[in-house]
Amino acid sequence: MGNTYGYIRVSSRDQNEDRQLVVMQELAVPEKNIFIDKQSGKDFDRPSYKRMLRRVKKDDLLYIKSIDRLGRNYGEILEQWRVLTKEKGVDIVVLDMPILDTRMGKDLMGTFLSDIVLQILSFVAENERANIRQRQAEGIAAAKARGVRFGRPPYALPENFDEICSLWNSGKMTGTEAARACRMPLSTFRYRAGADRKF
């Protein structure tokens, strides 16, 4: 019987890992064997996971809360599962999906069923993330259609902006001079003036 480990990842520094920690303690995972990362799945820079990967060895047991703790997409989850179970010889228990417990069904059929379930769940996890991104994009598009503005507020125009634009449009002032008179970068002046001419 090897050592018992727990891996916890929360998506941001604002999220709390306490609930997962309590579960790991109830499973009698030694505190020194609990590894926690607070990074998003998007960036996936996981120093604690990498440290844990270096420490685990054959016949160790790893608890994770959900399958998406292993990777940010379908391919990565499958790859990490392969590294842990095949290369390292580690057993994995996915707490919110008890069917994914590599201690059970060590025969060919058990391994086959576990791999099928893993692939389905990995696909579902990635598909859900894609759906979330799509809903966010649709929400932003709908907000823009309602006139909601995102980003910094536009640069406040000086009182003499229209007068300077008129001088510039009539060729009595260069673009550089007009931008300087408005106290803004040339590119900003050009954009705000709605011009497409070259300076």
pLDDT band at 77 (very low <50, low <70, confident <90, very high): confident
Distances (CA, A) of 118 to 2, 54, 56, 156: 24, 23, 21, 55
Q: How much is the pLDDT for 113?
A: 64
CA atoms within 13 A on the CB side of 70: 28
Distances (CA, A) of 181 to 34, 84, 157, 163: 61, 64, 11, 11
pLDDT at 75 exceeding the cut of 70: yes
pLDDT at 106 exceeding the cut of 90: no
Helix (H) or strand (E) holding 22: helix 18-26
Tens-place pLDDT, residues 38-51: 876 555 678 999 99
**Helical axes 186-193 vs 161-169, angle rounded to 10°:** 90
pLDDT at 92 exceeding the cut of 50: yes
Predicted TM-score of the model (pTM): 0.57
Q: Are 175 and 190 in contact (CB under 8 A)?
A: yes
Q: Max CA-CA distance within the chain?
A: 86
Kindly name the residue from 11, 12, 66, 170 that is annotated as catalytic.
11
12 is annotated as an active-site residue: no
Which position has the higher pLDDT, 31 or 157? 31
Q: How much is the pLDDT for 63?
A: 96
Using CB atoms within 10 A of its CB, is residue 162 exposed (0-12), middle (13-18) or buried (19+)? exposed
Q: What is the mean pLDDT of residues 112-126?
A: 70
Which position has the higher pLDDT, 72 or 13? 72
Return d(Cα 110, Cα 132) in angstroms, integer: 33
User: Angle at the Cα of 54 (from 48 to 56), degrees rounded to 5?
Assistant: 100
